[in-house]
Structure 1
Amino acid sequence: MAASTLPLVRHTLQRSRAGLIGWSAGLVAASLLYLPIYPSMGASGQLQSVVSSLPPELVSTLGFDMITTGAGYAQATLLGLIGFVLLTIAAVGWGAAAIGGEEESGALELTLAHGVTRIQVALEAALALALRLAVVCAVLLAAILALDGPSELGIPAGHAVAGTLALYLLTLLSGLAAITAGALTGSRTASIAAGAAVAVLGYAFNALGNQAEAARWVKDLSPYDWAFTPAPLANGFGNGAGGAMALILGLCGVLVVAAVVGLSRRDIGR
């Protein structure tokens, strides 16, 4: 492979080594914090007591429907909560810095002056984000697989892959929204707002749809619902999980195209 292949991706990954280690360590720490306590809580009936004391709508909103099972517990505490929050923060931060942040600092104009095309900037920014998220999600998957036996979760390896992939695509969507906003506006602030909006509104629509029957239609607008309602940790790629992931992946592709078109047509630095 030529030394000049994907120069922006290589440069970004080299700059991100400390961040990758930090986010990976955070996800491993979260896994070690939550997963090993499942046997004691499940066996003692504490989880069932908590679920029974809550209103059914709140149970559904928090994802506690299947919390008494190993897969349901891992989904409610790790993938659907702390893992989602940590990876969203990482994805949006990386996405906001990729184009909007680079333009605000003046680095983007310098990059373009060295013969790098705008299309290349947008595509390599998206690829770098996807690769960084893939690394930390692979670490999370390894942690789940390593702790599955000791934590008595009973999650098959294929289901763990499906659950982690759903989380990966969900957070990639927020990161790409940040990249696209940066490509369209040149603003880091707008990038952060766009990426956060995708995550927050997705979670909020899912919660709202679980609260009242009349509002259930808003769940159809929630990427969070698309990713996790099929319960990929419990069902693997079945129960509609594969189709939901394909839908999120398709939206990711649309955002990449929008970033390419937006950056290609806009005056940089104005």
Structure 2
Amino acid sequence: MPSALPLFRRSVLESWRGLLGWAIGLTAVALLYLPLFPTFGGANSQFAELMDNLPPALVKTLGYEDIVSGAGYTQSTYFGLMAFVLVTIAAVTWGAAAIAGAEESGSLELTLAHGVSRTRQVVEAALSLLVRVVALVLLAVLLVLALNGPSELGLAASNVVAAGAALAGLGLLAGTTSLAVGAATGRNTWATAGGALVAVAGYAFNAVANQAPDVEWLRVLSPYAWAWNGTPLKDGWDLPGLAALWGASLLLAALAGWALERRDLRS
């Protein structure tokens, strides 16, 4: 009897070294940044005075408005910066390799020649991407929870989980963009560029929107804003933002299946 989800199982098993590498990176930055909070925290700290002396526009662009609180510091340095970068790069790499990378290496044609449908190829690739992204983010959440007390962050556990859901949705959106572009073009470079563009443009749009009320509408176009404008570490679950992130990821996965079904792989 054939094993269930063989493509998913092979993808996850073959990428364990890369997953381990990303996990080590997430752990390293958590251990580097979060224990430093007692040095910066508190409204009367010297760091708070430094923030008061910086131009308000610069502080808003960097997302440092609330950096002297545990939630603001963790968001600014970890969830919204280093963990965002690492999870996004990992997701884009995996998403691009799933279809476009497999096609360029010749393994996609071989898999399809064994009777695997194109839709199944995309479904199992998307599931593999989801599991790996969630695994990384789960580690990030556990690290923050473990360092919460020793680092005096004062975070509510449910809010940390809410921030993890936002981070996973943000990374998954970039990854499924790469998956969809790869399915449509068959080019690993284009797939990588597509996912990276979503992440970079989302971050840039949110930063520009922080500059003036006239451009606040850019947040509507920014997945980064969908994830973090609800301030989950401080205020808890932001269901509209999560729905936008996860819904867009599901739509992109469906578009990947549609694109691969209709493309001539011989060209």
The amino acid across from 1:256 in the alignment is A
Q: CA deviation at 1:140?
A: 0.7
Whole-angstrom distance in 1 between the partners of 2:255 and 2:102: 18
Identity of paired residues, percent? 48
Stretches of structure 1 lacking an aligned partner (at least 5 in a row): none
Q: Tell me the residue number matched to 1:206.
A: 206
Q: Deviations over 1:223-259 (max 9, x none)?
A: 101110110011111xxx1111011111111101100
1:103 touches 1:269 (CA, 8 Å); kept in 2?
no
Preserved CA contact (<8 Å) 1:47 1:67: no
Quote the residue 1:159 is aligned against. Answer: 159
Distance 2:15 2:192 in 1: 18
Shift of 1:3: 4.5
Counterpart-to-counterpart distance in 2, 1:103 and 1:269? 10
User: Is the CA contact 1:106–1:269 (under 8 Å) kept in the aligned structure 2?
Assistant: no
- The answer as to whether partners of 1:102 and 1:108 remain within 8 angstroms in 2 is yes
Range 137-146 or range 211-220, more displaced: 211-220
User: One-letter code of the match for 2:206?
Assistant: N
Match of 1:249 in 2: 246
Please give the residue correspondences for 1:29-178 in structure 2 after superposition, counting only pairs within 5 Å.
29-42=28-41, 45-178=45-178
Over aligned residues, Cα RMSD in angstroms? 1.2
The amino acid of 1:249's aligned partner reads W
Number of matched pairs? 266
TM-score, scaled to structure 1: 0.96
Q: 1:84-138 CA deviation, whole Å, 9 max, x = no partner?
A: 1111110100111000011011110001011111000111111100000111111
For the residue of structure 2 that corresponds to 1:211, the secondary structure is: coil
Q: TM-score, normalised by structure 2?
A: 0.97
Segment of structure 1 superposing worse, 41-50 or 166-175: 41-50
Q: Does 1:263 align with 2:267?
A: no
How far, CA to CA, are the matches of 2:67 and 2:7 in structure 1? 43
Give the Cα–Cα distance (whole angstroms) in 1 for the partners of residues 241 and 266 of structure 2: 38
CA contact (8 A) 1:92 1:175 kept: yes
CA–CA distance in 1 between the matches of 2:64 and 2:126?
34
Write the letter of the residue equivalent to 2:21.
G
Read off the aligned partner of 2:225 and give its amino acid letter. D
What is the CA-CA distance between 1:193 and the residue it aligns to? Answer: 0.9
Q: Distance in 2 between matches of 1:129 and 1:269?
A: 26
Write the distance in 1 (CA, Å) between the matches of 2:92 and 2:124: 16
Residue-by-residue CA offset, 1:196-226 (whole Å, 9 max, x unaligned): 0100110011011111222111111111011
State the alpha-carbon separation in 1 of the partners of residues 107 and 64 from structure 2. Answer: 46
Q: Could you tell me whether the CA contact under 8 Å between 1:8 and 1:121 is conserved in 2? A: yes
